[in-house]
Amino acid sequence: MLIDIGWVIPINVPRGCPLHAFYIRDGFMCVNGNYADLKNYTPSEETNSLREVKESLHSSTPLHGSTGHHRQQHPNSDFEQVGELYRRVMNDRQRDILITNIVSSLKHASREVQERQVKLFARADEDYGRRVAKGLGLPLSVCSSSRM
């Protein structure tokens, strides 16, 4: 939990503990040169990126009363609602505007990021991914390998 914004000032960082918070840019007390041209995210495929600690998933905190951990029974996936929005809620004009907006922003990203995003869009809806790929000038084969 972030107590205050002063923790990013180098004098406030513990010795021997490098601060890697590339997602914190601009704003109050920006004293680090705004991380220059470094990515403002940590790609999950990088070996030094943060990883989930499986041992931390379950707590051994003593409780009074009953509690439980239950698997969700609904069919939602990370992509189901996005696909339904694209197919059923948006009309053709709205889909055109969406694709144009995504392509106009994503064209400035690296090809690796473009391909990763197209795969995500294709998992929500094949047409969604295909149209973004086409707008970016990527081969449509990027969509067919939509599993990441």
Question: What does the pLDDT look like over 74-90, one tens digit per residue?
Answer: 666 789 899 999 999 99
pLDDT, average across residues 136-146: 83
The reply to whether the predicted model has a pTM over 0.85 is no
pLDDT exceeds 70 at position 123: yes
CA distance linking residue 9 with residue 5, whole number of Å: 8
Residue 33 near residue 17 (C-beta atoms within 8 A): no
Q: Which position has the higher pLDDT, 58 or 125?
A: 125
Instruction: Give every CB contact of residue 114 below 8 A, 6+ residues apart in sequence.
Output: 106, 107, 136, 138
Rounded alpha-carbon distances, angstroms, from residue 55 to 46, 50, 52, 58, 112: 22, 15, 9, 7, 32
Residue 70 banded pLDDT, cuts 50, 70, 90 = confident
